[in-house]
Amino acid sequence: MPLEQEPIRARVLEIIKTLAPEMDTGKLVADAPLRKQIDLDSMDWLNVLAAIHERLGVNIPEADYSQLGTLDSIVAYLAARLSRRTQG
């Protein structure tokens, strides 16, 4: 994993932890489907995305939701979006 993804991962975990504080971060398998491991209903999931928009400044369009199945894929997606922004 590229080093620059670490802070993004920490921010994402922090956001999920706010909405689902019962989550045991240590038990989370980063490359397995997230919503199969944590009890996030549709409203929780939308709140996760809204918090990502608010705190990381990345607005994720609905068409991209299918790329966000695991913690790893969320972090990679956000890293790509954020780096595109700095380069642009």
Burial class (CB in 10 A: 0-12, 13-18, 19+), 23: middle
Neighbouring C-beta atoms of residue 80, cutoff 10 Å: 13
| Cβ closest to another protein, residue 66 vs residue 87 | 66
What is the smallest separation between the CB atom of 86 and another protein, expressed in angstroms?
26
Judged by CB under 8 A, the residue of 5, 11, 13, 20 near another protein is 20
CA-based radius of gyration for the chain? 12
Q: Is 51 in the site for another protein (CB under 8 A)?
A: no
Query: By CB under 8 A, how many residues form the interface with another protein?
Result: 21
Residues that bind another protein (CB under 8 A): 18, 20-22, 33, 35-36, 39-47, 61-63, 65-66
